[in-house]
Amino acid sequence: MELLIVGTLNGQIGAASKIAIAQGGHVSLADNEDSALEILRSGKSVELVMMDVKLDIYRFIKSLEAERINVLVVACGVANDPSLAVKAIKAGAKEYIPLPPDPELIGAVLAAATRENHALIYGDKKTEAVLKMAKQIAPSEANVLLTGASGTGKEIFSRFIHDNSKRANKKFVAVNCAAIPETLLESELFGYEKGAFTGAVSRRIGKFEEASDGTLLLDEISEMDISIQAKLLRAIQEKEIDRIGGRAPIKVNTRIIATSNRNLDEAVKNGTFRQDLYYRLNVVNINIPSLKDRPDDIIVLAKHFVKKYSELNELPLKVISKAAEDKLMNYLWPGNVRELENTVHRAVLLSTQEEIEADAVILDDADSIINKTDSSTKPAAAVSQGTTLAGMERNLIIDTLKHTMGNRTVAAQILGISIRTLRNKLKQYEAEGFDIASGN
């Protein structure tokens, strides 16, 4: 949980930070509204802002809205001033925390904020069974291996296990083994001492130590190099790690959740994954089925995402038309929940009516459409008879860009294309004389 404290909190910053840190939070500080905004703009992943009531919370929240920064704000002030509390809530603060800070209250606010961000939605019996098993094993200390295809929800399930474990109020630290180059992964995991190599100007604590007493998510563990696997095995077996360049091992008490979308059995057979490590990780195995195998999740999840993205884009809540529902149900979802989420996000932005019409549901993989004769499955945005495919694509891109206020990064995400492709297309449209929303 990343927390940003803004203002002096009536001299209680120290006390509030201590409580938050003890509950597994990371704390940053800002003197005033403007420096808080600067921190948020810098891309720091703050989830909760605790703001002094004496500051201009109203102006701050308006700025967040204008800049489309999604973060929860709670106000903090001296207990005996109800009028300030009311004012803060009216200004858009989610909660009022009286000072001096009370550990239990802050714990409750942190827990609520975390839950809000990682809501796990389901409607299918199969998912319910998986969830039941996850809940059952969560309080044990056993390492867990979560398997499932890409986009099925492995990360969200691993948070669920942490949140339901005895370590819930300690840290949850995630490391993506596939995203970090092999040479950096060791220092990322185990840290180093000052002078361990040229450039090691000060000690760095690795994720293993950071997650001690809490949970370490090793995402995409199948991608971990065999030499690091040996070190990981030692860390799990001996419950101690060596910082690079360190003189003595350091005791850790870290629970591991590992994920893989590849079959680790096979990796063991091929010799790319250590068998002994596999046994250590695979104490509990939870497999998350692909979305096509839990069809009763599809509409429930779609409705959840409609709500999420309507709110995020400040649009009125839309309903999904019957034809659009059919279209969602008649698709195999090769990209699983992530693909469904992107599809619904796009549909929310594209639908021009109060209902999300089938045309706003654009499916990326034609081969995964089950009933191709169904006319409602035509991949079409602002389709009208006589428009060319290129024209439709252009309309879609320009429309999406309008919705994102010209923000190209977001538009590319929604469209599921690279920012480079988007830029090239826009250049082409501009050259052809079309009006493109300007932006970054």
Ligand X SMILES: Nc1ncnc2c1ncn2[C@@H]1O[C@H](COP(=O)(O)OP(=O)(O)OP(=O)(O)O)[C@@H](O)[C@H]1O
Total binding residues toward ligand X, as defined by CB under 6 A: 17
> Nearer to Mg ion by C-beta: 147 or 400?
147
148 binds, among ligand X, Mg ion, none (CB under 5 to 8 A by kind): ligand X
* Residue 120 makes contact with ligand X by CB under 6 A: yes
Contacts of 369 (CB under 8 A, 6+ apart): 330, 331, 332, 363, 377
Task: Give residues 181-200 in contact with Mg ion (rule: CB under 5 A).
Answer: none
- Is 357 a binding residue for ligand X by CB under 6 A? The answer is no
Instruction: Between 81 and 155, name the residue whose CB sits nearer to Mg ion.
Output: 155
| Of 7, 24, 77, 148, the one binding ligand X by CB under 6 A | 148
147 binds, among Mg ion, ligand X, none (CB under 5 to 8 A by kind): none
Residue 121 binds which entry of ligand X, Mg ion, none, with Cβ cut-offs from 5 to 8 Å by kind? ligand X
Provide CB contacts within 8 A for 384, sequence distance 6+: none
284, 142 in Cβ contact below 8 A? Answer: yes
Q: What is the DSSP letter of 145?
A: E
**Site stretch for Mg ion (CB under 5 A), options 153-161, 277-285, 375-383, 419-427:** 153-161
Interaction pattern, residues 77-116, with ligand X; x per rule: CB under 6 A? ----------------------------------------
Least separation in angstroms between CB 262 and ligand X: 10
Please identify, using beta-carbon distances, which residue of 307 and 378 lies nearer to ligand X: 307
Q: How far apart are the first and last CA of the chain?
A: 29
Amino acid identity at 135:
K
Residue least distant from ligand X (Cβ): 153
- Write down the residue that tokens 């599921």 correspond to: 416
3-state secondary structure of 49: strand
- Choices 37-45, 145-153, 195-203, 245-253 (CB under 6 A): range interacting with ligand X: 145-153
DSSP string spanning 264-328?
HHHHHHHTSS-HHHHHHHTTEEEEPPPGGG-GGGHHHHHHHHHHHHHHHTT-PPPEE-HHHHHHH
Q: Is 80 exposed, middle or buried (0-12, 13-18, 19+ CB in 10 A)?
A: exposed
Question: Taking the complex as a whole, how short is the minimal distance between the CB of residue 379 and ligand X, in angstroms?
Answer: 22
Nearest Cα neighbor of 321 from 360, 348, 356, 296 is 356
Q: How far is the CB of 258 from ligand X (least distance, A)?
A: 12
Indicate which of ligand X, Mg ion, none lies near residue 191 (CB less than 5 to 8 Å, by partner kind): none
Report how far residue 22's alpha carbon sits from residue 15's, in angstroms, rounded to the nearest whole number. 11
Pairing of strands 240-241, 215-219: unpaired
Lookup: tokens for 14: 């120290």
CB of 123 to ligand X, least distance (A): 9
| Residue among 165 and 259 whose Cβ is closer to ligand X | 259
Under rule CB under 5 A, residue 155 binds Mg ion? yes
Segment interacting with Mg ion (CB under 5 A) among 149-157, 223-231, 350-358, 407-415? 149-157
Distance CA 105, CA 273 (A): 45
**Rule CB under 6 A: which of 7-46 touch ligand X?**
none
- Using CA atoms, how far apart are residues 309 and 283, in angstroms rounded to an integer? 38
> Any contact of residue 120 with Mg ion (CB under 5 A)?
no
Binding site for Mg ion (CB under 5 A): 155
Binding site for ligand X (CB under 6 A): 119-122, 148, 150-156, 261, 301, 337-338, 341
